[in-house]
């Protein structure tokens, strides 16, 4: 990675050059043409990102620019900004690109050699195309950010969710159009944007106004830092405080999941179980498996069965498979109970006879369907 220090540091990731070279080769169709395009892309993206960054600095923010595989990214931190300031910061990226387009257009009016005529013509075309495309109301493009800021400014968290859904729909339509006209790369990128926006919208169903508050996000990050430092007591207190101040929402869900692991580790498994039950549809994979184990301990066989396949997919081991077999046996379902025991057996032999004597298997022990799975294991 290349780091250019300064008031606005610039970090250039290796894959930025890889993608720039790929685009350059497609458009330049020669080694020289490829390097010309790499230069055009580098300057254009950098000017675009500095449009964001310089505006952020003007609003007393500390800005940083990164050039990554898919283009550029400007991040900033500092005093909380109003929605209109956020809007201007985002808008000034495409405006900077349009200024570069106008500059190239102006230079082309002068007599130039064939080489510089090509350079400035391609610079003009690239910046006009990218500035227009970047204003499409699709996240993570600047147009999508502008739509989010406007809708969130007027309607709060509902506006944020609406921007995701609107962007997903527009990106899906554009993806279909570009595939029809055989612009497959652009179509694939739009499809990716549509999927990402829809996935964010689906996850945002749990979101509430507290999720947009910087103080709560900072407290959650502080709690994660305390965990990494081994201060479990301090992290527990911070996560508990977040739940008291921000009930419900994505941040509360994250705090609940961290807290559930801390509770379970300290022996407070009933408290951990009660924390996770209400948010079971929004759990990360590792927390889902914790709930799976806690549900088994609390005799919630229906929930164990419900989570059986997903938990085993994340953590494929004998303990999970046996837990699933017990739950299905208690529910009087011999086929999945036997199937899960066969799965457990594949991870290594265990004392099958003792396991089958458990009360959990009393209802299916002699069932012909269940025996069809078990008998081959006893041979």
Q: What is the DSSP secondary structure assignment for residue 82, as one 8-state letter?
A: P
- The Cα–Cα gap between 312 and 289 comes to 8
Look at residues 172, 107, 179, 167 and name the one whose alpha carbon lies nearest to residue 137: 167
The strand pair at 10-12 and 62-68 is best described as parallel
Q: Which of 89-98, 231-240, 322-331 has the lowest mean pLDDT?
A: 231-240
Q: What is the tens place of the pLDDT at every residue in 322-360? A: 999 999 999 999 999 999 998 988 887 678 888 888 899
Q: What is the pLDDT of residue 289?
A: 92
Q: How confident is the model at residue 200 (pLDDT cuts 50, 70, 90)?
A: confident
Cα 174 to chain center, whole Å? 22
Q: What is the pLDDT of residue 101?
A: 94
* Average pLDDT score over residue span 207-224: 71
Give the domains, in start order, of the chain with CATH numbers: 1-135 (no CATH), 137-205 (no CATH), 211-378 (1.25.40.10)
* Average pLDDT score over residue span 170-185: 91
Where would I find the beta strands (DSSP E) of the chain? 2-4, 10-12, 62-68, 71-77
The winner for highest mean pLDDT among 15-24, 62-71, 188-197 is 188-197
Q: What is the pLDDT of residue 50?
A: 93
Q: How confident is the model at residue 68 (pLDDT cuts 50, 70, 90)?
A: confident
* Average pLDDT score over residue span 138-148: 91
Instruction: Inform me whether the pLDDT recorded for 250 exceeds 70.
Output: yes
């Amino acid at each position: 990675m290349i780091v250019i220090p300064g008031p606005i540091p610039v970090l250039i990731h290796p894959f930025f050059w890889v993608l720039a070279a790929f685009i350059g080769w497609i458009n330049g169709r020669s080694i020289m043409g490829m390097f010309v395009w790499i230069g055009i892309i580098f300057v254009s993206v950098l000017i675009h990102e500095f449009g964001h960054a310089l505006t952020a600095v003007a609003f007393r923010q500390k800005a940083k620019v990164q050039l990554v595989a898919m283009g550029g990214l400007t991040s900033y931190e500092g005093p909380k900004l109003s929605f209109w300031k956020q809007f201007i910061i985002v808008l000034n990226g495409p405006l900077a690109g349009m200024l570069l387009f106008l500059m190239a257009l102006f230079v082309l009016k002068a007599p130039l050699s064939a080489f510089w005529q090509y350079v400035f013509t391609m610079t003009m075309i690239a910046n006009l195309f990218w500035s227009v495309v970047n204003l499409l109301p699709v996240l993570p493009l600047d147009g999508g950010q502008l739509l989010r800021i406007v809708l969130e400014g007027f309607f709060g968290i509902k506006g944020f969710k609406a921007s995701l859904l609107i962007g997903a729909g527009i990106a899906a339509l554009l993806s279909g159009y570009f595939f029809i006209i055989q612009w497959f790369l652009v179509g694939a990128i739009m499809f990716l944007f549509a999927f990402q926006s829809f996935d964010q919208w689906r996850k945002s169903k749990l979101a509430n106004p507290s999720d947009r508050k910087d103080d709560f996000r900072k407290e959650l990050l502080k709690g994660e830092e305390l965990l990494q430092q081994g201060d479990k007591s301090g992290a527990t207190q911070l996560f508990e405080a977040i739940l008291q101040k921000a009930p419900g929402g994505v941040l509360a869900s994250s705090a609940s999941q961290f807290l559930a692991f801390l509770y379970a580790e300290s022996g407070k498994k009933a408290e951990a179980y009660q924390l996770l039950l209400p948010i079971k549809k929004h759990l990360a994979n590792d927390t889902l498996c914790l709930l799976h184990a806690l549900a088994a301990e609390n005799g919630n066989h229906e929930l164990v069965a419900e989570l059986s396949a997903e938990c085993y997919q994340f953590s494929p081991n004998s303990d999970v498979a046996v837990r699933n077999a017990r739950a299905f046996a208690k529910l009087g379902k011999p086929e999945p109970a036997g199937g899960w025991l066969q799965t457990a057996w594949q991870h290594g032999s265990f004392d099958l006879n003792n396991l089958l004597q458990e009360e959990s298997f009393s209802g299916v022990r002699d069932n012909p369907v269940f025996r069809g799975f078990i008998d081959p294991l006893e041979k």
